A = this chain, B = another copy of it.
Amino acid sequence: MSATSDLFSKLLVQPDFFPRLPQQKRLYEVAKVSIHLGQLSAGSKLPSSRELARDLGMARNTVIAAFEQLMAEGYVTSAQGSGTYVANLTELKLAAQVMPAPLASEVPGAETTLLSRRGAHITAFGAGERFEIFPFVPADDDFSSFPFKVWQRLQNRVWRDIHPDLLDYGRAGGYLPLRQAIAEYVAASRSVKATAHNILITSGTQQSLDLCAQLLADVGDTAWVEDPCYWGARRVFEACDLNLHPITVDGEGMALKPADLACDPRLIYVTPSHQYPTGAIMSLARRRELLDVAVRKNAWILEDDYDSEFRYTGRPLASLQGLDKDERVVYLGTFSKVLYPGIKVGYMVVPAALADAFKSALYDLQRPGQLMVQAALADFISLGHFATHIRKIRQIYGSRRELLRKTLAGEFGSQLNQQVRISHEESGLHLLIEVPDHVDDVALEKLAAESGIEVRALSAYYLSLPVRRGLLVGYAYVTPDKIVYYGKILASVIQSGLS
């Protein structure tokens, strides 16, 4: 029996290794994991399909099918008549596919030759909506709490007393009164040190991240990211040709290990207030440690504070930026969550030394504009509507969260905290239901979809092994009656996956 057959068969008998998948898919996963973990090194030759079939006790067609999928995804290559070899992963940048990989049939074949390498990589596995946490009952999203009439009145006011400058792109990094209003808001609510001078208004967090990646990192530089990680940040960094170094997240957020410190980052992307997607809140000790590391490594921390407004009880920890004495943190915020997603207004607080360069590049690369919306938003904040609205939706979303948790807990009964855990931190717009490691959460996601429920598998957000298993459930825009009705169905889907 070859060393490879031996390796594969040891992995295959492990009880938690996708026991419910068909043989072909399990063999594919085993090979992929071995390649990623370096147990099969680049250039090494695989046993023939005949040998492997014999050693593993599988049908030869099963082995061939698994090989074909590995080949289609670039994990192995074959030279006519001379066997199958492990490909060079660094070259292929396959990091994004470690866990639940799409089937080869899902990869749009025709397009890959038309696109660049990075273009093919970014688009090969479908749009990021596959990683976005939608309301778990897909219907009309409930945005009814937004004060449309007030918003419309404020917009009309701006359009009535129009100033030509507001129709232009704007070269100052955004509408000054809005930058002032944001400076006051983030100082009060998040202890962020900001003045209008070092705030830039962007058209959203993706645009903020893009600017950071282009201005602060070069091709091939390393970005530390949380593992699991927010897909949108990953995509932007990949498009800017950065190397991603995943760092495991535990209950206290990003957990640096000595091995991580061997890899020098240029950027460190974190979501400390409410880790995306696990919900972990970074402890004060970890925050201090991370700031120290950033100074020592001469790296920039990008603090994405995407949903800190949705803290339902207690007071949140101050922002990382607020703790930072060395000007190493870029703080990113957005209005998409509090107002409505399509408004496309985000902001960044940059160290003072970077402010001019960022404003110049914002104008040059993105041409900002949208000053009329920014003016209405400045009024919305300064007249107190923003604070009122946050209080209101915090109450609404908090009670929806509680309702979903109660509904699920009632259904799970004694399984709760034994086979199933429901996240308990009181913040955010989605809930995490964790299941044991041997449960295939991607299969659960599919099963739920068949019942009309849209959830996301936690394991899909990971860049490296091991992964945790669970489902991410967006509840904020779902009305209470639907939460109860579909919550029960979701619980029974999960139960069917546990048995």
Residues of A within 8 A of B (CB): 108, 110-111, 114-119, 122-123, 126-129, 140-143, 146, 148, 151-152, 155-156, 159-160, 162, 164-171, 203-207, 210, 214-219, 221, 231-232, 235-236, 239, 241, 266, 336, 340-344, 351, 353-354, 356-357, 359-361, 363-372
Contacts and interface: CB of A to CB of B under 8 A. Distances in A.
A343 B359 contact: no
Given A116-B216, A122-B360, A123-B360, 10 more contacts: A115-B215, A116-B266, A127-B364, A156-B156, A167-B341, A204-B367, A210-B365, A236-B365, A241-B241, A344-B367
Most chain B CB inside 10 Å of its own CB: which residue of A119, A218, A266: A119
A481 to B, nearest CB: 17
Contacts of A143: 164, 167
B152 A148 contact: no
A364 B215 contact: no
Given A111-B354, A369-B204, A372-B342, A361 B123 contact: yes
Given A116-B216, A127-B359, A169 B370 contact: no
B357 A111 contact: yes
A165 B148 contact: no
A329 to B, nearest CB: 13
Contacts of A160: 152
A341 B169 contact: yes
A127 B170 CA distance: 12
A3 to B, nearest CB: 36
A116 B213 CA distance: 9
Contacts of A343: 167, 369
B118 A367 contact: no
Contacts of A111: 353-354, 356-357
A148 B167 CA distance: 11
B357 A119 contact: yes
Most chain B CB inside 10 Å of its own CB: which residue of A170, A215, A336: A215
Q: How many copies does the complex hold?
A: 2
Contacts of A156: 152, 156
A156 to B, nearest CB: 7
A363 B128 contact: yes
A367 to B, nearest CB: 5
A367 B126 CA distance: 14
A110 B162 contact: no
A57 B205 CA distance: 58
Contacts of A210: 210, 365
Given A164-B140, A164-B142, A341-B169, A122 B367 contact: no
A377 to B, nearest CB: 14
A392 to B, nearest CB: 17
Contacts of A266: 116
B116 A357 contact: no
B219 A361 contact: no
A335 to B, nearest CB: 11
A61 to B, nearest CB: 32
23 contacts: A108-B357, A111-B353, A111-B354, A116-B215, A119-B214, A122-B215, A123-B360, A123-B361, A123-B364, A128-B364, A140-B165, A141-B164, A141-B165, A141-B167, A148-B159, A152-B160, A155-B155, A167-B340, A169-B342, A204-B366, A239-B361, A239-B365, A342-B369
